[in-house]
């Protein structure tokens, strides 16, 4: 142990471990890892001090299966017990009530178990309780869960929710039952923490949801919060950063490896450019635009164009009698913009494999990397199935993780990949969260672009994460179409929003409002910026160590809470420690 330093008077210790060293503290053996180690470290510290007997850790399904491996790796043998496997509700309930130190559940299981505990206490069915629970105010929900936990003699000392962005609400979207259960549990837990590598998915109203979950007494009015912080100005963003710094601990440790990032495809000269559609795709793409124009014209005339609507949404007419087609088309014409976007996406991503430019590009990429572990992401099952069929036909060893995969199936694919039984893991976005594939994963292909920056970061982080030791390749397959250009611009906007929560307020003098005013004054007076403020010019995507992600997503990676320092729970937790009591 190189250094132990007391930080302030609140007994928060910063134990710094340079390089690949290890240390043993309060029963946790730490090896420069990320969120799991920090969650374990927080609980072991609280347990050592006699302030927490039991921890409830709520994680994605694939992380639950990995948790046992992580706990066995980090924890002092024989000191702590945990339950982190598939089980029946009565089996989990016994662990909640018993002497098991840590109970690890999936997001959905956590929601369902809390509902069942309350239903049993109140003599209702789970469905009845769920409906009743959703109609309660937040304090009433917290009381209902507290009474149920006391009735069942279940302590809730320490609660950690991993990938907590999946619990977020936002303006214009009805609050989910899962989010309401999480809030009730947080309101009853002595120590609670929300963990994520991607804080925001869509808009700044989600930032309000983060902070209201942690401090509900202070933040009760979303509209007031949005009036103050939701304005897209430098000043409001800086104010929001300063506010969030009191409630969050931000750390990002990127493996010191070289990254080759390609948007589109690289030509013979080594330069990247968008992938051109095949002639068949170009014809189909233009056909969508033509159909959209015809359907729009028919709508303006008060008419219906059935053939145009069939081009835009063929599945809407599948297995429907001809007598229903006019009614279906009339309904579809009320959402032509959405239908057009979906139809263009099908042309770009789901066209027949033989004349699909992206599929053929993937086959070429993989053939040049045969035997070298890699990951391919696609948004939906049809694309996943098409890629699996084509890659298997080409002789590659392929595994799949999608929304239909059970936790055990996901674990089997991951272990087979690590062992060399599988060379390529094809994932839908259900596999974008939690899977540690960096042991063998040396290249990753985003066959299509997801809807949110959060999901893109989660995808990339399957191999670009702590534990990666080799150079990696990241391929984002974008085509030379307005469809994909719009997708990239959307991700840029959401990346900019996410950066509010992924930086510290102490840097604002360099990159926030103060810097903005200083540059404006210099420009007005004709002064030159100091050398350290001058434009950096073009950014080398492949430089090492990696810079902060740049515009147009030149380099995208997860901002997982991780690092080389352990911050145990203090006797009086301070804002920014990552845990709030």
Angular region, 547: left φ>0, alpha ψ -120 to 50, beta rest? beta
pLDDT at position 159 is: 94
- 382-438 pLDDT per residue, tens: 999 999 999 999 999 999 998 888 878 888 999 999 999 999 999 998 765 678 899
Closest residue by Cα to residue 65 from 36, 27, 98: 36
* Three-class secondary structure of residue 8 per DSSP: coil
DSSP bridge pairs for 251:
none
**DSSP string over 407-476:** HHHHHHHHHHHHHTS-SEEEE-GGGSSS---TTT--EEEESS--SSHHHHHHHHTTTSSTT--S-EEEEE
In order of start, what are the domains of the chain with their CATH numbers?
Answer: 3-195+561-566 (3.40.50), 259-278+355-483 (3.40.50.300), 279-350 (no CATH)
pLDDT at position 508 is: 41
Closest residue by Cα to residue 209 from 234, 178, 188, 242: 178
First to last CA, the chain: 29
Query: Cβ contacts of residue 462 below 8 Å, gap of 6+?
Result: 375, 427, 431, 432, 435, 436, 437, 438, 441, 444
Question: CA torsion sign, 292 to 298 to 303 to 305?
Answer: negative
- 438-456 pLDDT per residue, tens: 999 999 999 999 888 778 8
pLDDT at position 176 is: 86
Q: Write the CA distances from 11 to 236, 577, 579, integer angstroms.
A: 34, 12, 14
pLDDT at position 332 is: 95
Per-residue DSSP letter, 83: E
pLDDT at position 232 is: 65
Q: Write the CA distances from 206 to 23, 218, 229, 233, 512, integer angstroms.
A: 37, 16, 12, 17, 21
Token output for 157: 């000392």
Dist CA 318 CA 471 (whole Å): 47
Q: 144-168 b/e with 16+ CB inside 10 Å = b?
A: bbbebbeeeebbbbbbbbbbbbbbb
Token output for 258: 């070289």
Token output for 123: 């003599």
Token output for 89: 């509700």
Phi, psi values for residue 501, rounded to 5°: -95, 0
Q: What is the torsion angle, in degrees rounded to the nearest 10, for the CA atoms of residue 557, residue 561, residue 566 and residue 569?
A: 180
| Sequential pLDDT tens for the chain (581 residues) | 334 344 444 443 333 333 333 333 444 443 334 778 888 888 998 999 999 999 999 998 777 877 877 888 888 888 999 999 889 999 999 999 999 999 999 999 999 999 999 999 999 999 999 999 999 999 999 999 999 999 999 999 999 998 887 787 766 566 789 999 999 999 999 998 888 766 666 666 777 888 888 888 888 888 888 888 776 666 777 777 777 777 776 666 667 889 999 999 998 898 999 999 999 999 999 999 999 999 999 999 999 999 999 999 999 999 999 999 999 999 999 999 999 999 999 999 999 999 999 999 999 999 999 989 999 999 988 999 999 999 999 999 999 998 888 878 888 999 999 999 999 999 998 765 678 899 999 999 999 998 887 788 889 989 998 788 899 999 999 999 999 999 898 888 767 666 655 554 444 444 444 444 545 555 555 544 333 333 323 333 333 333 333 333 332 222 232 322 222 232 233 333 333 33
pLDDT at position 172 is: 58
Query: What percent of the chain stands above pLDDT 90?
Result: 50
């Amino acid at each position: 142990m190189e250094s132990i330093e007391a930080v302030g008077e609140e007994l928060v210790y910063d134990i710094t471990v340079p390089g690949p060293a290890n240390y043993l503290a309060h029963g946790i053996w730490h090896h420069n890892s990320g969120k799991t180690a920090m969650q374990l470290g927080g609980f072991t510290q609280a347990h050592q001090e006699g302030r927490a007997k039991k921890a409830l850790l709520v994680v994605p399904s694939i992380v639950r299966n990995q948790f046992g491996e992580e706990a066995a790796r980090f924890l002092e043998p024989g000191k702590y017990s945990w339950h982190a496997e598939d089980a029946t509700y009565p089996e989990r309930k016994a662990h909640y009530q018993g002497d098991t130190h840590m109970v690890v559940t999936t997001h959905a299981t956590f929601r369902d178990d809390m509902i069942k505990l309350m239903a049993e206490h109140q003599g209702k069915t789970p469905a009845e309780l769920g409906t009743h629970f959703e109609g309660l105010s937040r304090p009433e929900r917290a009381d209902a869960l507290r009474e149920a936990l006391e009735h069942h003699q279940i302590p809730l000392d320490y609660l950690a929710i991993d990938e907590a962005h999946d619990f977020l609400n936002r303006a214009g979207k009805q609050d989910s039952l899962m989010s309401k259960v999480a809030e009730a549990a947080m309101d009853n837990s002595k120590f609670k923490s929300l963990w994520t590598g991607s804080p925001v998915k869509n808009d700044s109203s989600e930032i309000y949801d983060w902070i209201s979950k942690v401090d509900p007494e202070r933040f009760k009015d979303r509209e007031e919060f949005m009036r103050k912080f939701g304005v897209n100005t430098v000043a409001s963003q800086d104010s929001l950063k300063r506010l969030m710094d009191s409630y969050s601990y931000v750390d990002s440790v990127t493996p010191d490896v070289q990254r080759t990032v390609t948007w589109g495809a690289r030509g013979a000269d080594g330069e990247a450019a968008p992938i051109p559609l095949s002639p068949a795709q170009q014809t189909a793409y233009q056909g969508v635009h033509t159909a959209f124009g015809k359907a729009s014209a028919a709508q303006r005339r008060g008419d219906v164009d059935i053939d145009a609507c069939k081009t835009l949404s063929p599945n809407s007419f599948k297995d429907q009698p001809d007598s229903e087609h006019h009614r279906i088309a009339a309904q579809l014409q009320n959402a032509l913009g959405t239908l057009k976007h979906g139809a263009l996406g099908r042309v770009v991503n789901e066209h027949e494999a033989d004349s699909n430019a992206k599929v053929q590009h993937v086959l070429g990429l993989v053939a040049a990397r045969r035997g070298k572990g890699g990951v391919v992401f696609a948004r939906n099952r049809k694309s996943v199935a098409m890629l699996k069929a084509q890659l298997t036909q080409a002789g590659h060893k392929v595994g799949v993780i999608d929304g239909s995969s059970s936790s055990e199936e996901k674990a089997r694919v991951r272990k087979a990949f690590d062992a060399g039984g599988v060379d390529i893991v094809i994932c839908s976005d259900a596999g974008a969260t939690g899977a540690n594939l960096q042991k063998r994963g040396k290249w990753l292909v985003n066959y299509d672009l997801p809807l949110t920056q959060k999901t893109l970061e989660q995808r990339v982080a399957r191999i670009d994460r702590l534990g990666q030791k080799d150079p990696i390749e990241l391929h984002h397959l974008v085509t030379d179409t307005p469809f994909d250009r719009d997708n990239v611009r959307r991700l840029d906007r959401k990346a900019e929003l996410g950066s509010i929560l992924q930086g510290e307020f102490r840097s604002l003098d360099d990159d926030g409002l103060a810097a903005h005013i200083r540059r404006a004054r210099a420009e007005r007076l004709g002064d030159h910026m100091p050398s350290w403020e001058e434009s950096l010019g073009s950014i080398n995507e492949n430089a090492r160590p990696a810079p902060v992600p740049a515009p147009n997503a030149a380099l995208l990676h997860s901002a997982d809470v991780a690092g080389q320092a352990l911050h145990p729970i203090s006797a009086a937790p301070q804002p920014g420690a990552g845990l709030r009591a």
